[in-house]
Amino acid sequence: MASIKTVQLGDTLEIKKIAQIYGHNNSHLFLTNHSDHPYCQYPKITDTTRIVQPGTKVAVIAKGKAETKYSCSFVTVVHNNITFDIFSTDLRRFCK
């Protein structure tokens, strides 16, 4: 199971749950639920290039500390030439 303490630069993570890359600008993209449930914090997107399917492999290119870019620590990954962040609180939920 992935955790912020065990993930290293250059590691490959496998997505285990459908998710989406969300953000208002390209410098702050992050992984979130792909759901249309009324209590979801972010809207469900339809752009298939930003929907990440289970089994997708993403490469870790950076790690960030809490209170720098976001309130929690995160890893920066790349997939299909899209760079985005996965919050430490979401690593176990979305990654193997």
> pLDDT per residue over 12-23, tens digit each?
999 999 999 999
Facing residues of 54 across strands? none
pLDDT above 80: residue 1: no
pLDDT at 5: 87
* pTM of this prediction exceeds 0.95: no
pLDDT number for residue 82: 95
pLDDT at 69 over 90: no
pLDDT at 47: 93
pLDDT at position 3 over 80: yes
For the chain, helix, strand, coil in percent to 5 are: 10, 35, 55
Six token digits for residue 57 = 């492999």
Which secondary structure element, helix H or strand E, spans residue 92, and what is its range? helix 91-94
Residue 89, SS3?
helix
State residue 73's pLDDT score.
93
Q: What is the mean pLDDT of residues 47-59?
A: 96
Residues 6+ apart with CB under 8 A from 49: 80, 82
> What is the model's pLDDT at position 56?
97
62 vs 41, 45, 51, CA distance in Å? 26, 26, 21
Token couple for 16: 């285990």
∠ at Cα 20 (18, 26), nearest 5°?
155
